[in-house]
Amino acid sequence: GAVVSQHPSRVICKSGTSVKIECRSLDFQATTMFWYRQFPKQSLMLMATSNEGSKATYEQGVEKDKFLINHASLTLSTLTVTSAHPEDSSFYICSASWGVSGELFFGEGSRLTVL
Amino acid sequence: GENVEQHPSTLSVQEGDSAVIKCTYSDSASNYFPWYKQELGKGPQLIIDIRSNVGEKKDQRIAVTLNKTAKHFSLHITETQPEDSAVYFCAATENYGQNFVFGPGTRLSVLP
């Protein structure tokens, strides 16, 4: 299957700082990528849909000014958590759909801890 | 919109036994149903999927069945092994590559 790489896998930051997470499709071009947030022992919560070359579409309740998404190329989408606070600590996962089949592949996830 | 339910939430089986996880969906327009395995601290991994024009699909020890009339689909794992222990998520969508709705997950424990 297709490979989606996410970096960093773990990040610890101080409250008030911003953190950037990268999501790359390694062996295919992804016009659409998705960002999820996952709390412990819970399912995946879709935060936003990232479309190459256009603004991301955010789900209801997700602050677009807090979670900045950029999809500048067909292989890279970034999520920036701005002015992070402890309540933003979570596991963030990206995914990309592959070709006409529409199969969805996930990155390895990034665990953010805000002190 | 689509709603996906998944049962059971936790499942423990003895090594070598079979495990079955069931999901139901609400939107009859959904036509693609993938299953994901998520190990602790990792992203979900696609393990098998099925499309609405097929009733069953098998890949070695893993199989998925789909009943469109009843709007439910199931994951079957035979000859379970300790490395099968993980959280499994089902999903449904009517639009390939978009609008995936995930079930709440099933935590499978395979006891040696």
Q: Testing the interface with B: which of A35, A36, A42, A44 to mutate, by most B Cβ within 10 A? A: A44
Q: How many CB atoms lie within 10 A of CB A74?
A: 15
pLDDT reported for residue A1? 67
CA dist., res. A38 & res. A46, Å (int): 9
Residues of A engaging B, defined by a Cβ cutoff of 8 Å? 1, 4, 6, 32, 34, 41-44, 46, 49, 93, 95, 97-98, 100-109, 111
Distance of CA B64 to the CA centre of its chain: 7
- Mind listing the pLDDT tens digit for each residue in B31-79? 999 999 999 999 999 999 999 988 999 999 999 999 999 999 999 999 9
Query: What percent of chain B is modeled with pLDDT above 70?
Result: 100
In whole angstroms, how far apart are CA A71 and each of A22, A68, A105, B24?
A: 10, 10, 17, 34
**Bridge-based pairing state of the strands A19-25 and B4-7:** unpaired
pLDDT bracket for residue A52 (50, 70, 90): confident
Cβ-defined contact of A32 to B32 (cutoff 8 Å): no
Burial of B30 (0-12, 13-18, 19+ CB in 10 A): buried
Point out the least confidently predicted range of B10-19, B26-35, B88-97.
B88-97
